[in-house]
């Protein structure tokens, strides 16, 4: 049984491979698909097979998937390019005779108003049209997404956002990786959809309080309008599209689009999600 992971040099992909090895999957049964061979040296050192293929290179993708049984398609990071890129991967998997594709989608991708959702939904639809059975890992937000905002929040005593009183069931990246590794090692996963979120379903005010407890000072949440928050992020130096995306995601949180109580993450990883305080501690260490 050979399992391939795309985006294997990325943060999530690396964690998935570590988890698979910890679960006893032999390194020789793992294919790491990467676009930068040099970056994959740590994976090769573990005995994992490294194959090079960009999501935009159908021929390389087909070669990279030769002999692969299960594929984890980790969504790409080039927003706006991802539907054709993911389609290339799926078509290459079809040509190579892959038997299962797991895809890292977005929580509630079929109903979410978050700007990242349409590319994920289009990929899900392409998978539904494929002859290959697919399993959808609809990942919620990573708690690590807040890492870059923490120093300013700790320094100023204010965490800014535009999520109102919405609840956010985020989880650590490592927990989402563990869920993906679990799916890749289980049987009969084709056709399943997992809505993945952590145990702590926090408002930003509750999140700010926990950040304060970890940092040893009071931190309050200041709620801005979506447009004011986007302007504040752009003013702080973020590229305009990223600022707009993040503020829009907060609006999605206010509507409950990054919240779930499905329990799917916990079932797959066989334990509660990692406490957010632990993720914050690691981020500010
Ligand atoms: N749920 C969330 O909160 C959240 C947050 C951020 C991102 N995401 C999504 O989840 C994915 C995995 O997260 P992550 O933390 O692992 O992100 P990441 O560290 O940025 O990893 C993205 C991976 O995709 C690879 N990649 C991007 N474009 C590619 C292309 N054209 N061809 C081949 N490979 C390509 C990158 O290759 P290189 O290693 O060569 O750069 C990298 O390995 C992201 O790509 C994004 O779609 C989710």
Q: Which tens digit of pLDDT belongs to each residue from 114-165?
A: 999 999 999 999 999 999 999 999 999 999 999 999 999 999 999 999 999 9
Test site for ligand 1: of 10, 31, 169, most ligand atoms within 8 A of the Cβ: 10
pLDDT in tens, 163-220: 999 999 999 999 999 999 999 999 999 999 999 999 999 999 999 999 999 999 999 9
User: In this predicted structure, what is the pLDDT of residue 172?
Assistant: 98
Q: Any idea of the CA torsion for 138, 169, 226, 279, to the nearest 10 degrees? A: -100
Task: For the chain, give every domain's residue range.
Answer: 3-139+173-195+261-273
Burial profile 197-230: b = 16 or more Cβ within 10 angstroms, e = fewer:
bbbbbbbbbbbbbbbbebbeeebebbbbebeebb
User: In this predicted structure, what is the pLDDT of residue 252?
Assistant: 98
pLDDT in tens, 12-49: 999 999 999 999 999 999 999 999 999 999 999 999 99
User: In this predicted structure, what is the pLDDT of residue 91?
Assistant: 98
DSSP 56: T
The ligand 1 site (C-beta within 6 Å) comprises 7, 9-13, 35-36, 39, 54-56, 74-78, 85, 104, 139, 141-142, 145, 173
pLDDT in tens, 57-86: 999 999 999 999 999 999 999 999 999 999
User: In this predicted structure, what is the pLDDT of residue 97?
Assistant: 97
User: In this predicted structure, what is the pLDDT of residue 106?
Assistant: 98
How far is the first Cα of the chain from the last one, in angstroms, to the nearest whole number? Answer: 40
Distance separating alpha carbons of residues 250 and 163, to the nearest angstrom: 5
User: In this predicted structure, what is the pLDDT of residue 50?
Assistant: 98
User: In this predicted structure, what is the pLDDT of residue 213?
Assistant: 97
* Main-chain phi, psi angles of 60, to 5 degrees: -65, -35
pTM over 0.95: yes
Q: Give distance in angstroms: CA of 216 to centre of ligand 1.
A: 33
- Token code pair at residue 55: 């999501």
Which atom of ligand 1 has the smallest separation from the CA of 7? Answer: 43
Q: Residue whose CA is closest, atom 28 of ligand 1?
A: 76
Q: What is the CATH number of domain 3-139+173-195+261-273?
A: 3.40.50.720
User: In this predicted structure, what is the pLDDT of residue 154?
Assistant: 96
User: In this predicted structure, what is the pLDDT of residue 146?
Assistant: 96
| Residues ≥6 apart with Cβ < 8 Å to 218 | 157, 212
Q: List the one residue out of 254, 189, 248, 244 whose CA is nearest residue 221.
A: 254
How many Å separate Cα 259 from the centre of its chain?
15
E strands of 140-201, at which residues?
158-161, 193-196
**153 near 210, Cβ under 8 Å?**
no
Looking at the chain, how many residues does it have? Answer: 285
Give me the mean pLDDT over the 2-17 stretch: 98
pLDDT in tens, 45-61: 999 999 999 999 999 99
Q: Is the dihedral of CA 41, 43, 45, 47 positive or negative?
A: negative
Angle 187-188-189 from CA coordinates, rounded to 5°: 100
User: In this predicted structure, what is the pLDDT of residue 199?
Assistant: 98
Test site for ligand 1: of 4, 5, 6, 7, most ligand atoms within 8 A of the Cβ: 7
pLDDT in tens, 91-102: 999 999 999 999
User: In this predicted structure, what is the pLDDT of residue 248?
Assistant: 98
């Amino acid at each position: 049984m050979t399992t391939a992971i795309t985006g294997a040099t990325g943060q999530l992909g690396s964690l998935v491979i570590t988890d698979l090895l910890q679960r006893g999957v032999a390194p020789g049964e793992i294919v790491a698909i990467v676009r930068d061979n040099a970056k994959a040296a740590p994976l090769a050192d573990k005995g994992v097979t490294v194959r090079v293929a960009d999501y935009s290179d159908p021929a390389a993708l087909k070669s990279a998937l030769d002999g692969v049984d299960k594929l984890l398609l980790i969504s790409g990071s080039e927003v706006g390019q991802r539907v054709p890129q993911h389609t290339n991967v799926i078509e290459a998997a079809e040509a190579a005779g892959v038997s299962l594709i797991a895809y890292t989608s977005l929580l509630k991708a079929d109903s979410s108003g978050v700007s990242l959702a349409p590319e994920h939904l289009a990929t899900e639809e392409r998978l539904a049209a494929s002859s290959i059975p697919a399993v959808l890992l609809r990942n919620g937000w990573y708690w690590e997404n807040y890492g870059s905002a923490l120093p300013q929040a700790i320094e100023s005593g204010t965490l800014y956002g535009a999520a109102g009183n919405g609840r956010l069931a985020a989880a650590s990246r490592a927990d989402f990786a563990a869920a993906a590794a679990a799916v890749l090692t289980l049987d009969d996963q084709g056709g399943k959809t997992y809505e993945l979120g952590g145990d702590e379903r926090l408002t930003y005010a509750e999140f700010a309080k926990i950040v304060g407890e970890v940092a040893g000072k009071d931190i309050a949440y200041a709620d801005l309008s979506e447009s004011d928050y986007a302007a504040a992020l752009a003013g702080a130096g973020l590229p305009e599209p990223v600022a707009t995306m993040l503020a829009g995601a907060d609006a999605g949180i206010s509507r409950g689009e990054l919240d779930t109580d499905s329990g799917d993450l916990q079932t797959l990883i066989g334990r509660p999600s990692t406490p957010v305080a632990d993720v914050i501690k690691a981020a500010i260490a």
